[in-house]
Every structure is written in structure tokens, then in C-alpha cells.
Amino acid sequence: MSERTELWLQCLRPRREARQRLVCFPHAGGSASFFRAWGDHLPGSEVHAVRYPGRAERIQEPVPTDLVRLARDVADVLESFGDRPLALFGHSMGAVVALETARALEARGVRVTHLFASGSREGDCPPPVADEDFPEDFPGDDAATIARLIELGGTDPELAADPDFQELVLPYICGDSRMFHAYEFRPLPTLRCPVTTIVGDADGDADRRPWSMLTEGGFREHVVPGDHFYLIDAPPYALIAEVLDGVTVR
């Protein structure tokens, strides 16, 4: 991989023989390491995870502020992945970044074979939040932010109480939240690839988008046991493999 590709993408199990690539987009406050084990469980795919700026290996870089710009930056890297079928998987905020990345790729003539939108469901999407509604120190109350992370189920309470964790992680959690809630949803352009949403049956925090209207390639929603972070305990490997096994190789 090129230096730029390695900056943006983590691939712990390169598979030259794999018939397709799966690119995974983390949730708000997440990093590529969230998907570190996925390559071991999806032998039919070469799994890549997106490295957002402002965390982990890229901690010295500014946290992104424009979700569409972030998606286009990822698309710049993925343009070179046109030699094999390319599928995208995003969880929560990552589902929306994946949506905009798929749009950018299709606009450039790069085929996306499937989009998985996890932690999101069919429905009307919330309106964007205006910049003036965000104070400079949004969300402002670290204790409330930590409590919310624990409530969502994606953060271990003991880890969340660690001062080093709070100093390093809270800034990009808050930055991601600002970016995501300020994102202005666009119904167009519609995708050509199929879309599958995956949502926990106890997920009261799932993002909502009119996914069936956002694609001309077909839409299905799968409800699985669990809350917003169902995929920590039960990653949807079998579902992903089943869907991707049906992808026609170019």
C-alpha cells in the first residue's frame, strides 16, 4: 500500500487472494482498532478499517469538522481499490460517513458493491444542529459525556474513569459529535449499490435515515438482538459474509 493509503486505512490481515475488500468506518469517538479482529472472521474479504484523523496513530492531527469533506478524503484513497469488488460497512456515525464515501466513489465511476449501515435504521432523519447551538466547549460537561458513553454500551466504565482516557479521548469524541450533528443530510444523489441496515432490537439510540429512498440498488433492514453496540458482543460476520458471497465479481 502507498504511504497515503497506510495513513488512512488499517489492514491487519492482507489477503491478495480475497475476491473483495470490505472497508469499515468507526462510530463517533471510535478508531480503526475497533475492527481489529474482523479480518480473522471474514476470510472471504480483505478487511480495511478507516483511520480518522485526530486519534490513535493520527492523534496529532486536527479532528475533522466536515463530514462530507472527511468522506471525500477517504474516497480519494479508495479510488485505487477498483481492481476488486468494494463494500463499505459503517457503524452509527460511520454509516453516514460510509454513505457519503459511497456517493463520492460512484460519482467518480468507482463501483461500490454494497453498503452496510449498522446502528442505523429506516426512518426520518433528524435536522442538522446549527453552529450557534454549539458552545465552544461542547458538550461542556465531561461527567455527562462519560455517563452517556457508558449508557450507550460502547465504553467500559473503568476505562472511562481513567484520567488519561479522558484527556486523550474526550476531545475527539466531542469533535466527532459536533461534526455528526452539524452534518446537513442530502437526499441526493441516490446510490446505485444495495444497502443493508443492521440495528439492535433494544437500540433506542439508532440513527435514522430514509435508506430505502437513498438507493436504487435495493434495501433490506436486519434487526438483531442487542443495543446500540450490539456488534461488540455479536459482530454480524455471518450476515456480511452471506450478503457479500452473493456479489457478482466484475
Active-site residue list: 92, 228
Cell of 173: 469524541
Angle CA 153–28–208, to nearest 5: 80
Q: What is the dihedral of CA 176, 141, 160, 33, to 10 degrees?
A: 10
Q: Which residues have a Cβ under 8 Å from the Cβ of 221 and sit 6 or more positions away?
A: 121, 122, 196, 197, 198, 199, 211
Instruction: Round to whole Å and give the CA distance between 6 and 182.
Output: 29
Q: For residue 199, which of 64, 87, 97, 92 has the smallest C-alpha distance? A: 92
Q: What is the torsional sign of CA 90, 28, 204, 132?
A: negative
